[in-house]
Amino acid sequence: MTHTDLNGPNSGGGCPFHQGSSPALTNKAPAPAAEIQIDEGGVYRVQGFLAAREVLRAEGVRQAGFMAETVRDTGLLKNQPVLFAEGEEHHAMRRDTARYFTPTQVAEYQPMIARQADALMAELARAGELNLDDLSLKLAVQVAARVVGLTSSRAPGLERRVMAFVEGGGDSEPGKAQERGRIQGLKQQANMALFFLLDVKPAIRARRKERQDDLISHLLDRDYNDLDILTECLTYGTAGMVTTREFISVAAWHLLQDEVLRADYVHGTEKERHAILHEILRLEPVVSTLYRRAETDLMVGEQAVPRGSLLALNVQTANLDAGVIGDAPETLCPGRTLPRGVQAQGLAFGDGHHRCPGAFLAIKESDVFLRRLLIWKDLRIVAPPTVKVNEVVKGYEIRGLRVSLGR
């Protein structure tokens, strides 16, 4: 690498990177004061790293986030989506779909990702100045659509339809009232109907005629009905599209405002580049809160959690736990030495049996795009973005990160 060795030691307060120069841009959460706190609503707010990981790995909890409990309560689905399923049903589904996210399969996707990234670089070159978050959305949507099978749309604008659904929802924390009126609710139903009619249904029809190597074809082989497939497309598709879009944006934001980090990234090996991306993700987890419902009485550390309790796992504060992450957890330190079993991105991809299945794909996709972007020496930020919170996915939204080729 040009400036640092990402494989160097992290002892005695040292850091393989220039410690302290790159604080979080979206994550303003303080370090946790206590591992677990019980709020006025009886929700167990888990803030420490080890406690949060313990809950994610526990067998006596079930998925409660991403509106899982709302979907289950409707009773309309014959098959629960993989994000919501539990037990052997979930394990079987993960085994069946794992092939879409293995390094071998991701290598098959790489030429497609590269073509999409090259097309976006050409678009930026022609315009001279664009919003980076718009480019990252286009890439994330195209890649996720290929994996899921949403490639037979009847009209352009898949990315707009997906974002309309995600941005039109209310607070997804279980037990919280949806703060939206009747008109907003009707708009959300219309957004879902458009997504189904223009994107999902044509994909189903095409794959009934001829199966392809994608998720929708697999679901048809398992005799999923249209509603089941729509729900799976919303969970797999929007998760892959929305979160990857935001991560690419925040990673580019860090790299464009830190010339040393940018040089290390551009000239680094793939292992070194991935180390930088993982550390950015640790500091800036796209999904800030994960929810679980206790199905049995639990002991989390020394805290008793009664059956039926809601646990809210704060990924932001957990990833700042100095007892696990080490010195200066609030700043970037790619290649920092971590305890055995602690991954470089902390809990940003989750953990346990619901860990994000597309983690490797997301990093690979981001790396392909960012390396092509940052190799332009005259690329610069001309307008900083605004950062908002999306309560549906419990994560940040970066909008208006405008970049120019400096011509």
More confident residue, 28 or 197: 197
Average pLDDT, integer, range 44-65: 92
Least confident among 101-105, 126-130, 343-347: 101-105
Task: With a cut of 50, say whether residue 12 has pLDDT above it.
Answer: no
Q: For residue 399, which of 172, 246, 288 has the smallest C-alpha distance?
A: 246
Range list of β-strands (E), 194-351: 289-294, 298-300, 303-305, 310-314
Q: Are 325 and 16 in contact (CB under 8 A)?
A: no
For residue 378, the Cα-to-chain-centroid distance in whole angstroms is 29
What is the band of 8 on the pLDDT scale with cuts at 50, 70, 90? Answer: very low
pLDDT tens figures, 385-394: 999 988 878 8
pLDDT at 402: 96
Q: Where are the domains of the chain?
A: 36-404
pTM score over 0.85: yes
More confident residue, 113 or 94: 113
Q: Which residue has the tokens 């907003």?
A: 184
Indicate the CATH number of 36-404 among 3.40.50.300, 3.30.70.1250, 1.20.1730.10, 1.10.630.10.
Answer: 1.10.630.10
pLDDT at 339: 95
- Per the prediction, the chain carries an average pLDDT of 86
What distance in Å separates the CA atoms of residue 238 and residue 170, rounded to the nearest whole number? 16
Least confident among 234-238, 274-278, 294-298: 234-238
pLDDT at 9: 37
What is the band of 7 on the pLDDT scale with cuts at 50, 70, 90? Answer: very low
pLDDT tens figures, 175-201: 664 555 566 667 778 888 999 999 999
Average pLDDT, integer, range 279-294: 94
At 340, phi and psi to the nearest 5? Answer: -55, 135
pLDDT at 20: 47
Provide the percentage of residues in the chain whose pLDDT is more than 70. Answer: 84
- For residue 367, what is the enclosing H or E element? helix 359-374
Average pLDDT, integer, range 122-135: 96
pLDDT tens figures, 223-249: 999 999 998 888 877 778 889 999 999
